[in-house]
Chain A
């Protein structure tokens, strides 16, 4: 009786209506996920500053837009602010010898105060009626033209940034960063300044996170000091979902690295789609973070458990 009532209360139409929003959010958070990919996968550095730098990007963009800066131009400043945050984490680690996770946490905590100072209070709104924002929730639920505009913008950001990253990590400097992440001892023996490379990669990563935060703040029409809470988990989820689902597909292809980067964005979209399904199933929204943590834990565990199974079979 109860179950049938529950199912009767679920409206497929409501789910269908929620999908565009989820995809748009996934595309925006995909940029953060690309940043996380750079540190977590390429640099082998679990960087927790992103929770702070995501909000910093949002705060910087919103405050600049409120003081009548063009919303598009504000994105550049959000990127730069993110880079600064990444630099702090990098210097804490390379110059002061603080372990990666701790360095990230210190920056994250410091940014909480800095973000409050940027905004002057815990949140600041920008109305889409007053400013011509790059992306907005309103466009997603608006007419077809507005929908097309918001999705073209989001997809364009994804494509352009993947293209830039693909180029950059094929350059001499990009090679140096990849070598630093893969084998720092080898990198130093080949004359690579591994400290410099770490700082540089953290800056690029957090720059992307700041940009993502700025877009997300415009999307939801406000920046909030807590908007980055758990961002690292969402970023990791996207990276890992992309890897688990598409890792094998990407490997060995001619543009393998570009495919891998796209799979990270797709991972973020999948994450938000699953999330919207869960909300649609009327799970309490208070439990979303718990759910996120469980999803990430499962996807992190899959490769490990698979290897373990293989290893024991080998014996």
Chain B
């Protein structure tokens, strides 16, 4: 077992020195071993998505260090870090290029971390491979390789984005509330595909979710964030026995507050 992700005491303040100043990350520490699939929960503004964005390098952190697969990536730009990361976003529009075809999107993902030259953007052999990968989704997309992604539904796009994230096996898969914008049935299907892709490729993954049930049902570890810190870390057997009631109780104990999100309670 080796460390796939190590976050050391990262801090991020948005809009420093203004009335909108917000301490988004207040000393986050987290280590993920290879093969760990951690679900991340917490109220609005707890720093869940911010942590994922910090790992992905969307902006530089104010202090602290981030290591992926042992390499210090703290100073690496977003597109350089992409070679190590698979990412799926909350908004299904974000993960794909809508004016390009399904196969072109997948071909772009297949070249993540490689230099892009004047070779053809997609080869015949690749096309066959993508057709096969798409058929495992059982969404009928294998016959629509040349369809523009813009014509697909949100769920189909998220499924394709998941495939794209795994074509080049990433050291770490970041799922940022990737089912939040979908209807419950589609969300369940996309979660199922996520589990399938993570286990088949033995991926290390972080999944942010608002849904406590999902956080409990998926993955082999759970962390809870509050006000820019990791306040709870449950793994192994403890996680298997976890219930929503336990989580709420734990949250109140650790934070001294009632869990803020109605959405989390109701779901």
User: By the criterion CB–CB under 8 Å, are B96 and A175 in contact?
Assistant: no
In the complex, what residues of B have CB within 8 A of residue A171's CB?
117-121
Asked if B13 is at the interface of the complex by the 8 Å CB criterion, the answer is no
Asked if A127 is at the interface of the complex by the 8 Å CB criterion, the answer is no
User: Contacts A179-B108, A188-B82, A192-B108: A172 and B98 contacting too (C-beta < 8 A)?
Assistant: no
Q: Which of A183-202 contact B (CB under 8 A)?
A: 183, 185-194
Asked if A303 is at the interface of the complex by the 8 Å CB criterion, the answer is no
User: By the criterion CB–CB under 8 Å, are A178 and B100 in contact?
Assistant: yes
User: By the criterion CB–CB under 8 Å, are B97 and A187 in contact?
Assistant: yes
Given A173, A182, A183, A190, which contacts B109 in the complex, CB threshold below 8 Å? A190
Q: How far is the CB of A160 from chain B (nearest CB, A)?
A: 17
Can you list, as one digit per residue, whether each of A150-176 has a CB less than 8 Å from chain B (1) or not (0)?
000000000000000000101111111
User: By the criterion CB–CB under 8 Å, are A175 and B119 in contact?
Assistant: no
A183-B97, A189-B82 known; 9 new pairs, CB 8 Å cut-off, are: A171-B119, A172-B116, A173-B117, A183-B94, A187-B97, A189-B56, A191-B113, A191-B114, A192-B116
User: By the criterion CB–CB under 8 Å, are B94 and A186 in contact?
Assistant: yes
Most central of A172, A185, A194 by chain B CB within 10 Å:
A172
Q: How far is the CB of A95 from chain B (nearest CB, A)?
A: 13
Asked if B79 is at the interface of the complex by the 8 Å CB criterion, the answer is yes
In the complex, what residues of A have CB within 8 A of residue B122's CB?
175
User: By the criterion CB–CB under 8 Å, are B119 and A172 in contact?
Assistant: yes
Interface of B is mostly: loop
In the complex, what residues of A have CB within 8 A of residue B114's CB?
191
In the complex, what residues of B have CB within 8 A of residue A175's CB?
100, 104, 107-108, 116, 121-122
User: By the criterion CB–CB under 8 Å, are A190 and B100 in contact?
Assistant: no
Asked if B87 is at the interface of the complex by the 8 Å CB criterion, the answer is yes
Asked if B154 is at the interface of the complex by the 8 Å CB criterion, the answer is no
Q: How far is the CB of A173 from chain B (nearest CB, A)?
A: 5
In the complex, what residues of A have CB within 8 A of residue B113's CB?
191
User: Contacts A188-B79, A192-B116: A172 and B97 contacting too (C-beta < 8 A)?
Assistant: no
In the complex, what residues of B have CB within 8 A of residue A178's CB?
97, 99-100, 104
User: Contacts A179-B108, A188-B79: A174 and B95 contacting too (C-beta < 8 A)?
Assistant: no
Most central of A176, A188, A191 by chain B CB within 10 Å:
A191
Nearest-CB residue, chain B, relative to A179: B97
User: By the criterion CB–CB under 8 Å, are B96 and A183 in contact?
Assistant: yes
In the complex, what residues of A have CB within 8 A of residue B107's CB?
175
User: By the criterion CB–CB under 8 Å, are A170 and B97 in contact?
Assistant: no
User: By the criterion CB–CB under 8 Å, are A173 and B118 in contact?
Assistant: yes
User: By the criterion CB–CB under 8 Å, are A191 and B82 in contact?
Assistant: yes
Nearest-CB residue, chain B, relative to A41: B99
User: By the criterion CB–CB under 8 Å, are B97 and A182 in contact?
Assistant: yes
User: By the criterion CB–CB under 8 Å, are A176 and B82 in contact?
Assistant: no
Q: How far is the CB of A84 from chain B (nearest CB, A)?
A: 21
Nearest-CB residue, chain B, relative to A172: B116
Nearest-CB residue, chain B, relative to A254: B146
